[in-house]
Amino acid sequence: MRIPIWQVDAFVTGGVFTGNPAAVCPLDAWLPDATLLAIAAENALSETAFLVPEGEGWHLRWFTPEVEVELCGHATLASAHVVFEHLARGRDAVAFRTQAGTLTVTRDGAGRIALSLPRRPPAPAGPPPALVRALGGRAPDATLLGRDYVAVLPTEDEVRALRPDLSAVAELPGHGIVVTAPASTPGVDFVSRYFAPQVGIPEDPVTGSAHCTLVPYWADRLGRRTLEALQVSRRGGRLACEDQPDAGKVRVAGRAAEYLSGSIEV
């Protein structure tokens, strides 16, 4: 059978070759999970999104090359781009049913795609030995725990320069480690990087789901609800963020750039 496929760079800082690439594969009906995982492994991207029509919306699932995940921000943005530009042209909003609940995605007035994601504020935690080893033997300024461990460092330069011990990261529970710091880049409030070798992603270029935890932390620390974030991986990604504690949500917006379209045969 032939399956359409688009590869879309999400949360780009410019055009293609920045942001986080995701594959998006619309299906008429669900294939066996083993087939979905094999397709994701063959694509060899941090995430492949599969979506099946469901009423006025879609049922959306995400796979790394090794596992299905419960929430993925950048592949949701990429999926919304495919819906808006190809599957339902003219739409400005879409609802995706996912393991993390119904995610509403809209176009905003600045040419970006905005995701409404669950708010997951972190709790203070002691740094486990594996985290300290992952950071080269130093304890972070603060250690937080959400879905993943969050290590707060003093400066953007230290986040950029970090070369973590990935074997130590792989010992941590959850999906990985988020490293963050206040930004020195003009017009940006905080920076981050994300490492998840446990699920086949040594470093994720841009991680929308990590901002479910980062946005509440930095909003409280900086005393503002609207923030600009930069993920300082090699590819880089930019996210416009808003903390919405009363709604239990964070809003994360970014731009998409379409890299390829075609079909796969399985």
Please give the Cα distance from 61 to 228 (Å, whole number). Answer: 27
DSSP letters of 129-173? HHHHHHTTS---SEEEESSSEEEE-S-HHHHHH----HHHHTTSS
Please give the Cα distance from 150 to 146 (Å, whole number). Answer: 7
Is residue 56 annotated as part of the catalytic site, yes or no? no
Side chain identity at 243, as an amino acid letter?
D
- CA 215-105-99 angle, to 5 degrees, is 80
Strand 123-124 to 142-145 pairing: antiparallel
Q: What is the DSSP letter of 81?
A: H
- The catalytic residue positions are 47
